[in-house]
DNA sequence: CCAAGTCTCACCCTTCGGGGTGAGGATGTG
DNA sequence: CACATCCTCACCCCGAAGGGTGAGACTTGG
């Protein structure tokens, strides 16, 4: 059987590197062909792994968009956050599975294969139940609210305020409000320094991405 | 003999990591007590290693300032660029030595010790003569001029235009001119994306710096 | 010598970012 | 319930960033 082609959408360097390392020994079964945080999936893939950012509302819409993408066969959510209502919501919106980031490599590969061949929705049980609820998203320790962390992450990806507003479906005024709050908490006053803070705290997506092998 | 205390001033992550690794096996003879790109030397050191940025004019002044710093006993230049006039200029301005970045660890340590104990100016011969002239500074391949690369590096360190002007002793208008040029060449239109470009191309100094051991 | 490129600076203009304030609604905790 | 904390948005203001143009001085290579 040919290897399953997987894209990782919307994630941070920490995760990207981890996934890359985890799947390196399974290249014959899984190929991560695209890693990109800022753009859509460009080449056709069997499964798109979507990283929901701290379970924001905007995710629902993004998941739907991914599913309607003709280049994507199936979409799974790949997240730390396993709260039941989030899982239900994602599956209800058409996700083919909901995979925990705490899954070891073997189980992750198995789950992806199950998603690929089967019609059932795949939700492996959490190997560390109740363990990863805290430390949910980068910046939690600094007291960033989920929204603040989200806009910070988007800033670290190089978006301007209007683009952030579009992406999050917020008004630009709200975006500014969150940015102000985030700056106060992380102790910066300029966007430049916010970006640097983000880079140093794992918000930086892998832009120098893996070159896909055809 | 107590270990020589060394500070590395004004350098990029690539170099910082390299130096750290190189000197790790010589901790009993050399201690790198401070690594910082943006600030002055804070604690007293025996030798400050100064990285001249592509041999800019501003360097002369900065070297003089370092030498006049009461917390710094001696200053050496640590650079890829070994052009004779630059070496002469640095030594003339009071540098106690001019060390090539292509020096292997052993010779580097020896050179630093020679600087520390002796009165002579130490200029080890280049182990790779004529080899490292190109690839001089990050961004050379992209066609950035030295000045453009310099302001980009300062942007990547979080400075605003006025601070860059102060640091480089340029007018703020010139700074803006170089920034425009740099943006054009690297293909960005915002400071945020310039910072991200810089981070991905080795301009990012080690801000999470080594904690000095007393 | 001329052309190209760089370095330096000034002036103008527009947009964007950053900060302050106020305010309503939702949610959750003592 | 009262209080705190978010989330959301609007309005105003100012300074910084970004972009265009022009121009003189200097260096270097053909």
- The answer to whether residue A9 scores a pLDDT higher than 90 is no
Average pLDDT of every residue of chain B: 72
Give the domain-ending residue among A117, A138, A172: A117
- The answer to whether A162 contacts chain B (CB < 8 Å) is no
Residues A8 and A113 in one domain: yes
Contacts of B193 in chain A (CB under 8 A): 158
CB atoms B199 and A200 under 8 Å: no
- The answer to whether residue A159 scores a pLDDT higher than 70 is yes
Chain A residue closest in CA terms to B161: A192
Q: Which residue has the higher pLDDT, B149 or A11?
A: B149
- Residue B99 binned pLDDT confidence (cut-offs 50, 70, 90): confident
Return the residue in B157, B162, B199 with the most chain A beta carbons within 10 A, the one to mutate for interface testing: B199
* Mean pLDDT, range A27-56, rounded to an integer: 67
> Out of A21-25, A27-31, B34-38, B150-154, which region has the weakest mean confidence (pLDDT)?
B34-38
Residues B82 and B183 in one domain: no
pLDDT in tens, B61-93: 677 777 888 888 888 888 766 666 667 777 877
Q: What is the pLDDT of residue B175?
A: 93
Helices A191-200 and B191-200 pack at an angle, to 10 degrees, of 30
Distance from C-alpha of B30 to C-alpha of B7, rounded to nearest angstrom: 10
Give the domain-ending residue among B117, B132, B155: B117
- Residue A174 binned pLDDT confidence (cut-offs 50, 70, 90): very high
- The answer to whether residue B110 scores a pLDDT higher than 70 is yes
Average pLDDT of every residue of chain A: 72
The residue whose two tokens read 């390299």 is B18
Residues A111 and A154 in one domain: no
Residues A77 and A157 in one domain: no
Residues A98 and A17 in one domain: yes
Q: Which residue has the higher pLDDT, B132 or B116?
A: B116
- The answer to whether residue B50 scores a pLDDT higher than 60 is yes
Residues A91 and A173 in one domain: no
* Mean pLDDT, range B175-179, rounded to an integer: 92
Distance from C-alpha of B4 to C-alpha of B27, rounded to nearest angstrom: 9
Residue A123 lies in a domain: no
- The answer to whether residue B100 scores a pLDDT higher than 70 is yes
CA distances A91 to A63, A76, A84, A100, Å, are 10, 9, 11, 14
Q: List strands edge to edge, sheet with A72-79.
A: A30-36, A4-9, A45-50, A72-79, A97-100
Q: What is the pLDDT of residue A55?
A: 46
pLDDT above 70: percentage of residues in chain B: 63
> Out of A56-70, A89-103, B127-141, which region has the weakest mean confidence (pLDDT)?
B127-141
Any strand C atom closer than 7 Å to A39 CB? no
Any strand D atom closer than 7 Å to A176 CB? yes
Residues A112 and A13 in one domain: yes
Query: Which residue in the set B160, B196, B204 is minimally distant from A158, CB to CB?
Result: B196
Q: Of A128, A28, A142, give the one whose Cα is nearest residue A81.
A: A128
* CATH number of the structural domain spanning residue B153: 1.10.10.10
- The answer to whether B189 contacts chain A (CB < 8 Å) is no
Residue A127 lies in a domain: no
Closest nt by CA–C1' to A172: D9
Q: What is the pLDDT of residue B180?
A: 92
Residue A139 lies in a domain: no
pLDDT in tens, A179-196: 999 999 888 999 999 998
Contacts of A162 in chain B (CB under 8 A): none
CA distances B208 to A36, A91, A157, Å, are 26, 41, 20
Residues whose CB falls within 8 Å of the CB of residue A35, separated by 6 or more in sequence, listed in order: A7, A8, A11, A16, A20, A206, A209, A210
- The answer to whether residue B191 scores a pLDDT higher than 90 is yes
pLDDT above 90: percentage of residues in chain A: 11
Residues B111 and B154 in one domain: no
Q: What is the pLDDT of residue B135?
A: 38
Q: What is the pLDDT of residue B63?
A: 75
Residues B103 and B13 in one domain: yes
Q: Which residue has the higher pLDDT, B76 or B39?
A: B76
Residues whose CB falls within 8 Å of the CB of residue B116, separated by 6 or more in sequence, listed in order: B4, B46, B47, B74
Residues B162 and B57 in one domain: no
- Residue A77 binned pLDDT confidence (cut-offs 50, 70, 90): confident
Residue A93 lies in a domain: yes
Q: What is the pLDDT of residue B150?
A: 83
Residues B80 and B177 in one domain: no
| Token digits of residue A130 | 């109740």
Cβ-contact B146, B137 below 8 angstroms: yes
Residue B134 lies in a domain: no
Tell me which nucleotides of strand C come within 7 A of a protein CB. 5-11, 16-22
β-bridge partners, A122: A97
Residue B132 lies in a domain: no
Residues A36 and A90 in one domain: yes
Residue A131 lies in a domain: no
Residue B214 lies in a domain: no
pLDDT in tens, A95-125: 888 887 766 677 788 888 888 987 667 777 6
pLDDT in tens, A12-37: 544 555 566 567 667 778 877 765 54
Contacts of A204 in chain B (CB under 8 A): 196, 199
* CATH number of the structural domain spanning residue A93: 3.40.50.2300
Q: What is the pLDDT of residue A128?
A: 42
- The answer to whether residue A173 scores a pLDDT higher than 90 is yes
- Residue B179 binned pLDDT confidence (cut-offs 50, 70, 90): very high
Contacts of B157 in chain A (CB under 8 A): 196
Structural domain boundaries enclosing B167: 146-200
| Structural domain count, chain B | 2
């Amino acid at each position: 059987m040919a290897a399953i082609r997987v894209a990782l959408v919307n994630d941070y360097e920490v995760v990207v590197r981890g996934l890359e390392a985890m799947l390196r020994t399974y290249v014959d079964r899984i190929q991560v062909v695209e890693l990109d945080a800022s753009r859509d999936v460009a080449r056709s893939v069997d499964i798109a792994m979507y990283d929901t950012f701290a379970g924001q509302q905007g995710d629902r819409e993004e998941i739907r968009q991914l599913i309607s993408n003709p280049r994507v066969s199936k979409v799974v959510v790949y997240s730390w956050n396993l709260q039941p209502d989030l899982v239900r919501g994602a599956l209800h919106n058409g996700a083919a599975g909901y995979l925990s980031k705490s899954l070891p490599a073997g189980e992750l590969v198995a789950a992806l294969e199950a998603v690929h061949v089967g019609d059932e929705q795949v939700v492996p049980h959490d190997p560390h139940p109740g363990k990863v609820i805290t430390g949910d998203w980068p910046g939690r320790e600094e007291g960033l609210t989920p929204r603040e962390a989200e806009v910070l992450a988007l800033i670290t990806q190089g978006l301007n305020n209007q683009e952030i507003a579009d992406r999050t479906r917020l008004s630009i005024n709200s975006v500014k409000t969150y940015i102000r709050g985030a700056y106060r908490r992380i102790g910066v006053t300029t966007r430049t320094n916010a970006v640097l803070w983000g880079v140093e705290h794992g918000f930086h997506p892998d832009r120098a991405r893996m070159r896909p092998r055809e």
